Amino acid sequence: MIIVHHTDRTGRPLRHYLFPIAVAGAGVIGMFGLVATFIALLDFAIHTAVAIGAAAGPIGVGGLSLRLARGKP
């Protein structure tokens, strides 16, 4: 006579939760990368605008003039 005891698991196994957590983690890392890239692009654009503004001097439209950068004292 062979007696086999079976106990059914009451909950879901841990591997069923692994895939959604991995996908969410990859999404979060991707969003961090996207935000970091956007901030780097804005920083580059601001530095470029400052360099152009410093080189251009005052800009006039009609009777109004706008000085983009301070002059040298």
58 pLDDT more than 90: no
pTM, two decimals, is 0.55
What is the tens place of the pLDDT at every residue in 7-43? 777 777 778 889 999 999 999 999 999 999 999 999 9
6 DSSP 8-state letter: -
Per DSSP, the three-state class of 70 is coil
Residue 69 vs residues 31, 43, 64, 72: alpha-carbon distances, Å: 35, 18, 16, 9
